Amino acid sequence: MRCQRSNALLIASLLLAPLACAAQDTIHVAYAERPPYLLQQADGSPAGLTGTPTTAAFKAAGIPVQWHIVPTNRQLAMIKDPKGLNCTIGWFSVPERQAYAKYTKAIYRDKSWLLLTNAAFAERGITTMAELASQRDIRVLVKDNFSYGGLDKFIHKWHPVVAVSTASTVKMVQSVAKGAVDMMFVSEDEGNYILKNEAGEYAASLRLLQLKDMPRGGDRHIMCSRAVPDEVIARLNKAITFK
């Protein structure tokens, strides 16, 4: 009887061992500085609207983590790696990404979407999404491989003149201010931060417009590769305090 019990305990420990090991594997978390969402701290960890809750969640969950500053397109490549224990911070959950990624609960929710435009475009006096959609000559600047949450379907149906950029947010803002494009979509948090802290000499040429029927901002999540164990996602979800 004692032998049987010992064997049973041995089998149970062997079954649990892979899960325990997986939970202790270091997770590589990539992000790019994007204030006010993500700002790099002295130890490499992120702070900001999405960075601070992510750092806190990994710490509270007791999950070993290594932080990496990585361009956004490279972040997506890391998430698509079927063997890499990789995560990224602050992404929207959209069908295209759900095919290759796992998501935690929301870590932050954006406020309303705004239009960041130059002064000349603002003079058109557009006040609703319908008015915006009726004008096909508008030049819209979008970030390569970014999702704009509830605006994605609207942009697809609208068919404006779209310019795709891989540049930094600061460079994109300068393009708007100089009139190379008419506008870009920004969250309320980001738009206000840009005008106050990043626009510099271009601030006088920029306007933030809130249309009457703009969709609300989307939920932002920690997005991970399929290789990240479900048990790790569950522990992060338990540690995330955002509601």
The whole-number pLDDT of residue 150 equals 87
Which domains can be identified in the chain, with CATH numbers?
2-110+219-239 (3.40.190.10), 113-209 (3.40.190.10)
State how far the alpha carbon of 30 is from the alpha carbons of 114, 152, 179, 183, 188, in Å: 27, 24, 33, 28, 24
Report the DSSP pairing between strands 46-47 and 161-165: unpaired
Report the DSSP pairing between strands 65-69 and 46-47: unpaired
- Respond yes or no on whether the N-terminal peptide bond of residue 53 is cis (omega within 30° of 0): no
Buried b (16+ CB within 10 A) or exposed e, 190-225: bbebbbeebbeebeebbbebebeebeebbbbbbbbb
How many angstroms separate the CA atoms of 117 and 105, rounded? 33
List the beta strands (DSSP E) in the chain: 27-31, 39-40, 46-47, 65-69, 86-91, 101-109, 113-118, 139-143, 161-165, 183-187, 206-209, 219-225
Q: What is the pLDDT of residues 70-121, one digit of tens each?
A: 999 999 999 999 999 999 999 999 999 999 999 999 999 999 999 999 999 9
Low-confidence spans in the chain with pLDDT less than 70: 1-24
* Token pair listed for 240: 């995330």
pTM, two decimals, is 0.86
CB 22 within 8 A of CB 31: no
How many angstroms separate the CA atoms of 125 and 139, rounded? 16
